[in-house]
Amino acid sequence: MIVLGLMSGTSVDGVDAAIVDIDGAPPRLSVRLRHFTTISFSPEQRQAIFQLFSPETSRVDLICAMNFRLGAWFADAALQAIVQAGLTPQRIDLIGSHGQTIHHLAGEDAPTPSTLQIGEAAVIAERTGVTTVADFRVADVAAGGQGAPLVSYVDWLLLRHPHLNRAAQNIGGIGNVTWLPAESSSSPPLSFDTGPGNMLIDAAVAHVTHGAQRYDEGGRIAARGRVHKGLLAELLAHPYLHHRPPKTAGREQFGAEFAVSLWPRARALGLSGPDLVATLTAFTAESIAQAYRNFLPAFPDEIILSGGGALNPTLTAMLSQRAAPTRVRRSDELGLPSNAKEAIAFAVLAYETIHGRPGNLPACTGAHHPAILGKITPAPPMRM
Ligand SMILES: Nc1ncnc2c1ncn2[C@@H]1O[C@H](COP(=O)(O)OP(=O)(O)O)[C@@H](O)[C@H]1O
Ligand SMILES: [Mg+2]
């Protein structure tokens, strides 16, 4: 099948679209990437989405409308990717769309475990003419899981090594690890959010550049700064980092509110703008290494990086330093471009759903059982 995966993560940087050829069935699934693109959100689009995240700024009519607007934006991203790949929508067998998470209340302390991704699949199916699977997380939450991480199933399918224990580390807005024991071992995988990914770095960059930049391209700002050991130690005391998995993190822990609380502290300690960005970059790197030491069965033999953070050399160098002698590699070296991995994952999950197979790993999400994920919106009749 030719399957198109759509994703927008907690960074709200844009819609990722991956077109992949998928063949076979687990554990031998073959996945080949044909094309990948990110259609960036405009500042107005980004602002309108951010507004929905917090009860203070969100409204039910805004959510209602944004569900349909996002559906149209996701459909446009899909159509652009299809044209760029030299294909037509008729050639696409299936779309898998993660949508945009606007709220996630799935921890143990949530009174009603729940999660909300929007980006209406009916609009995507209508505009593209392609059967669309969406809303993957809710079945896992209904089965008692955290609804995340879902990418771990795809990590498990595509990234295990015959003899080495690997950690597949995604650094999106949030950091997430999937522990992949060697194929030769019979121990189960494990997955959880390690803490912040790029979210705090992005917030600090926007703050210190007065909005002129929205992320630390090439890690250049952090490279000019010095890590402040005292502030780093304070950050590492964050309670989230000390909770045992299963656990998931989001804007609720490391979003704007937390970020804004850091600015006066950094000023009081005398940090320059680059020092602040460097310290938050070190926080992400150290929280990942610390999570491995505290919560994985053993320190991994290899770390496979993906997500936008894999493109930040200052961040990856800080992680390599803390993980040595463990080798840190980008998933690109294993045939999975690091910025495309999550979109590829939702194409694979849609493929699994349409074949009636489960897509969650209960060992990773905490669900009581494997669940077939997502809701299928059929293509409109009479495709021309
Ligand atoms: N060239 C780059 N240099 C540094 N950071 C980058 C680069 N490209 C992407 N990023 C970081 O990755 C983030 C987007 O990562 P992504 O994996 O799309 O996250 P999400 O899944 O949360 O949308 C950006 O906000 C930015 O912080
Ligand atoms: Mg993104």
Cβ(22) – ligand 1 distance below 6 Å: no
In short, whether 172's Cβ falls inside 6 Å of ligand 1 is: yes
Cα of 199 from ligand 2 centre, angstroms: 11
Residue-level pLDDT at 154: 92
**Residue indicated by tokens 């209406």:** 120
* Residue 325 CB-half CA count within 13 A: 0
Q: Tell me, what's the pLDDT at 106? A: 82
263, 199, 254, 201: which is closest to 231 by C-alpha? 263
Pocket test for ligand 1, best of 7, 12, 13 (most atoms within 8 A of CB): 13
**Residue from 296, 307, 309, 314 nearest 337 by CA:** 307
Low-confidence ranges of the chain (pLDDT < 50): none
Best CA proximity match to 23, nearest among 353, 352, 376: 352
Atom index in ligand 1 nearest the CA of residue 339 equals 17
* Cβ-proximal residues to 6 (8 Å cutoff; 6+ apart), any chain: 15, 16, 17, 74, 77, 78, 95, 96, 97, 98, 99, 119, 124, 343, 346
Starting from the CA of residue 222, give the closest ligand. 1
Run of H or E residues at 294: helix 273-295
Considering the segment(s) 2-147+339-377 as one domain, its CATH architecture is 2-Layer Sandwich (3.30)
CB of 353 sitting under 6 A from ligand 1: no
Q: What pLDDT sits at residue 384?
A: 52
Ligand nearest to the CA of 204: 1
Please tell me the distance between residue 346's alpha carbon and the centre of ligand 2 in angstroms.
13
Neighbours of ion ligand 2 (CB under 5 A): 9, 11, 13
Mean pLDDT of the chain: 96
User: How close is the Cα of 7 to the center of ligand 2, in Å?
Assistant: 7
Is residue 215 in contact with ligand 1, taking CB distance under 6 Å?
A: yes
Residue 4: name the closest of 107, 102, 72, 98 by CA: 98
Domain with CATH 3.30.420.40 in the chain: 2-147+339-377, 151-334
Whether residue 149 is preceded by a cis peptide bond, meaning omega within 30 degrees of 0, is yes
pLDDT tens digits along 59-76: 999 999 999 999 999 999
Topology of domain 151-334 in CATH is Nucleotidyltransferase; domain 5 (3.30.420)
User: Ligand 1 centroid to 199 CA: how many Å?
Assistant: 9
Residue 47 host element (H or E): helix 43-50
Cβ 172 vs Cβ 13: under 8 Å: no
| Ligand 1 near 5 CB (within 6 A) | no
Q: Identify which of 169, 311, 315 to mutate to test ligand 1's pocket (most ligand atoms within 8 A of the CB).
A: 311
pLDDT at 310: 97
Q: Is the distance from the beta carbon of residue 198 to the nearest atom of ligand 1 less than 6 Å?
A: yes
323 Cβ inside 6 Å of ligand 1: no
Q: What token pair was written down for 56?
A: 């203070």
DSSP assignment of 102-135 equals: EEEE-STT-SS-EEEEES-HHHHHHHH-S-EEE-
Interacting residues of 7 by C-beta distance below 8 A, sequence separation 6+: 15, 16, 97, 98, 342, 343, 345, 346
Helix (H) or strand (E) holding 141: helix 137-142
Question: Whose C-alpha lies nearest to ligand 1, atom 11?
Answer: 308
Q: Name which residue sits closest to atom 6 of ligand 1, judged by CA.
A: 308
Q: What is the pLDDT of residue 285?
A: 98
| Closest to 81 (Cα-Cα) out of 121, 36, 33 | 36
Point out the ligand nearest to the CA of residue 308: 1
Query: What distance in angstroms lies between residue 91's CA and the mean position of ligand 1's atoms?
Result: 30
Q: Which residues are CB-contacts of 324 (< 8 A; sequence separation ≥ 6)?
A: none
Asked if residue 95 lies in contact with residue 133, where contact means CB atoms within 8 angstroms, the answer is yes
